[in-house]
Amino acid sequence: MSFILATISTLCILISALLMVYGWYTIRVKKNRNRHKAIMITASLFALVFFMIYMTRTVFIGNVMYNGPENFKFAYTVFLTIHIIFAALGAIMGLFSLYLGFTGRFQSHKKVSPYTAIIWFISAATGIAVYLILFIIWPSYHMDTNLWQAIFGH
């Protein structure tokens, strides 16, 4: 079950990131504010679906522990920690960027949102890499565990 939910949630975050690129294109190149807004709302909804699936899996099933080579575990843990920091920061900045856009504070939105997008792309890319490491490269389907153990091990 972890594999299915993780795959769906990872696809959601990939779609969200791709939509963000398209949303950026529609505002910067095409100057189409209405289309930009619709695309960014859709991208945000895909990110929300990701988060809901991730939290459901975390609470009810657990997380998958790292199952790769021991000599790579420290690097993976650092990488995962960086991903978690960027994901949290991206979520906060994403909400702030949405707030600025919805309240018509376009100058502030225009200043903050490029940084939000960069952080979100880093979060999405590292999240996809974590998925590949845990479920494709070194899968361990029978090691569902709590969040703390999944990050730091035993």
CA distance 120 to 89: 8
**Number of neighbours of residue 1 by Cβ within 10 angstroms:** 10
Q: For the whole model, what pTM was predicted? A: 0.90
> Residue 143 has what pLDDT?
64
Pick left, alpha or beta for residue 88 (phi over 0 → left; psi -120 to 50 → alpha; otherwise beta). alpha
- Residue 53 — pLDDT band, cuts 50, 70, 90? very high
| CA neighbours closer than 13 Å in the CB half-sphere of residue 65 | 13
Q: Which CATH superfamily is domain 2-152 in?
A: Cytochrome c oxidase, subunit III, four-helix bundle (1.20.120.80)
Domain boundaries, the chain: 2-152
- Please compute the mean of the pLDDT values over residues 130-147 and round it to a whole number: 84
Model confidence over 92-103: pLDDT tens digits? 999 999 999 999
What token pair was written down for 76? 């993976």
